[in-house]
Chains A and B, each alone.
Chain A
Amino acid sequence: AQKITQTQPGMFVQEKEAVTLDCTYDTSDPSYGLFWYKQPSSGEMIFLIYQGSYDQQNATEGRYSLNFQKARKSANLVISASQLGDSAMYFCAMREGLYSSASKIIFGSGTRLSIRP
């Protein structure tokens, strides 16, 4: 079964608009972390934002915010005031068992975001 689901294979957004990238997850572990990464065409994985399962407030990092709805098991990424440089693949990821030595990050299928000038 899919543990991380990203239902939007591709999105087009006008420059300066806000965009929401969807992510739902599935886990029975009470201790987990949720991540968003950006992957430009160069292939490098750029860490954007992190949300821990016990965090009370939604994470924010500059123009990025994570809309964490624990009961719905969703962790959507919101990018405000999109820029042309935001065009890239975006991956949602989860790490279960944060305090376990076997803890590992698994990725969703990704969303390709294209920003129109």
Chain B
Amino acid sequence: GAVVSQHPSWVICKSGTSVKIECRSLDFQATTMFWYRQFPKQSLMLMATSNEGSKATYEQGVEKDKFLINHASLTLSTLTVTSAHPEDSSFYICSAINSGGALETQYFGPGTRLLVL
């Protein structure tokens, strides 16, 4: 089946630094990717929708200047957490729609655990 990868899988950083997370669709093209955040024992909350070649659409309450999203190609979207703080520590999961697949086909990456000290 289609595969979505994320890198890194784990990241620990100091408060105030920026962290970049990559999401790649390995064997299909994805015009649309999604970024979710999941706090411990909670559900996945959609942060933003990333469209190739255009600006991301952010969900209400998500700071676009804090969470920079770039979808520069049909197989890569990046999420940069700028000036990270301990409250940004979370599990970040990306998801991609297979542009050439069935409408219901949305694949999830394995997630990235971010710990800000």
Interface residues of A (CB under 8 A from B): 33, 35, 37, 42-45, 47, 50, 52, 91, 95, 98-99, 101-110
Q: Which residue of A33, A99, A107 contacts B43 across the interface (Cβ within 8 Å)? A: A107
- Chain B nearest CB: distance from A112 CB in Å? 9
User: Given A108-B43, A110-B43: A43 and B111 within 8 A (CB)?
Assistant: yes
Residue of B nearest to A93 (CB): B44
CB <8 Å contact, A45 and B108: yes
Interface magnitude class on chain B: 20 to 34
- Chain B nearest CB: distance from A86 CB in Å? 19
Offer 17 A-B interface pairs, CB within 8 angstroms, sorted by A: A43-B91, A43-B110, A43-B111, A43-B113, A44-B110, A45-B93, A45-B95, A45-B108, A91-B44, A95-B104, A99-B103, A101-B31, A102-B57, A105-B46, A105-B106, A108-B43, A109-B43
Question: Is B89 close to A, CB under 8 A?
Answer: no
6 other contacts beyond A37-B108, A42-B110, A105-B106, with CB at 8 A cut-off?
A: A43-B93, A43-B113, A95-B104, A101-B32, A104-B34, A109-B42
**Contact residues in B for A109 (Cβ distance below 8 Å):** 42-43
**Contact residues in A for B110 (Cβ distance below 8 Å):** 42-44
- A-B pairs with beta carbons under 8 A, tally: 52
**Contact residues in A for B34 (Cβ distance below 8 Å):** 104-105
Task: Give complex CA distance A47, B44 in Å.
Answer: 14
CB <8 Å contact, A104 and B49: yes
Task: Give complex CA distance A43, B92 in Å.
Answer: 10
**Contact residues in B for A99 (Cβ distance below 8 Å):** 103
Question: Is B25 close to A, CB under 8 A?
Answer: no
Task: Give complex CA distance A105, B45 in Å.
Answer: 10
Question: Is B75 close to A, CB under 8 A?
Answer: no
Question: Is B98 close to A, CB under 8 A?
Answer: no
CB <8 Å contact, A98 and B44: no
